[in-house]
A and B are shown apart, each in its own frame.
Chain A
Amino acid sequence: MRIRRLLPGLAALCLGAVLARSLASSVGVNHLLVAIALGAIVANVADVPDDLEPGIATHKLWLSAGIVLMGASISVGTVLEVGGRVFLVVIAVASVTLVVVELLARNVFGLAERLGSLLAAGASICGVSAVVAVAGTVRAREAQVAYAAATVLLFDAITIAVYPIVGDLLDLSSTVFGVWAGVSMFSTGPVVAVGFAHSEVAGQWATMTKLSRNALIGVVVLAYASYYARTGDGDTPSVRTLWAEFPKFVVGFLALAALSSLGLFSAAQQTSIEHAYNWLFLLAFVGLGTEIQLGDLRQTGLVPAFVVLLSLLVASTLSLLLLLVLF
């Protein structure tokens, strides 16, 4: 039965989560960052045994389930108060990043058109998921997908280390830091990790901002599909693409936020739900750490990495300035 195949890896994730929780309190580093470090150390020092891989691969499921539960801790009033401004920042920064990567890739560095599009989608929307979603519609070659995904993962690893340091150095408020991480970092896991490493409020803002950015993936896939279909090289786009690419766990997050704002949960129940999502995030981040393979990151091409680095610098600087003005 399939569950039996998952058990060894799930047990390893649970063990890593408990270990990260205990180590974090003794070394004084946030538990989510310790979880990622533990996973990365195990994966790079000793290869992950084949038996553990199916269970460890479930880590994205635990991240999404944790985000669904986080809905119960969200103050709908605060979201309505500042959510409009945040969404405008998300649209502005995602658009600027997409255009900057496309222009640099095609006109300055002469990268292949499809590789540029994959990098642009990964940098502007939701990391590797966006790379894979766009690759399907533009019929990118496997090597281009692997190249773009490795570049995104390289910057995930770098930003996990750099963002908390910059946040502390600039003494950013929880709201500004959370929205900044959510709007400019690449993949959802690292965004959630650095957000919660800063503070609970920053973690919630980072996650909400990133979710609204992820929700744009349908629009981006549709736009790329239209462009490449026009040139006769891609799949014909349809409006169904919007729903197909929409991250459905956002529905669960919103439903729980609505139930919570109706006062359905007592304070003790909300605390238990918070504990549950903290444990789910720990499971997810031990697994996420195992994906940081230094050997794979070394295979990233210098030019694609440079293109993405420039766009990251532009997006993170512009968004931070914008947020400091707005909040």
Chain B
Amino acid sequence: MGWAVLLFVANVAASLLRGRPAGDNPWGAGTLEWSVPSPPPPYNFVRIPIVSSREPLWSREEGTPTHVSGLSAESREGLVTTVIDAIPDVRYGYPRPSIWPFIAALATSSWMIWSIYSTQGFVWGLIPPAIAFIGWFWPGRKETEEALALEKAP
């Protein structure tokens, strides 16, 4: 195994020094991840692609749409489809980034540690996570207004 690692390191060094840049899809692969530039941008896809087969880069059904449009550019909207047929069903508004998940993680960890050393801690230690989870859930006025502006009832 040592030899295998050594061979790998030698390969990396040789490629770095005098290899040709490989490009975005060097093997002409057919799956979706090869359609993005290399290295991939943090958002992955500018527009949500529509696929109709397992290798969408190789075969594309004629006359089918290529991408999804109509999701909000200002707010974090995702697309929910039906379970089996993957038909677009709901525009789902994701919450904005917030500090609460981090506080919830700290509070939950503290509870677990406290509960190891004390029976009282097992009960009372649940209060900080409860506060953190409620804070995480509680909707802000501005956030709700934004959601209401995009809202369409089912």
- Chains A and B bind each other: no
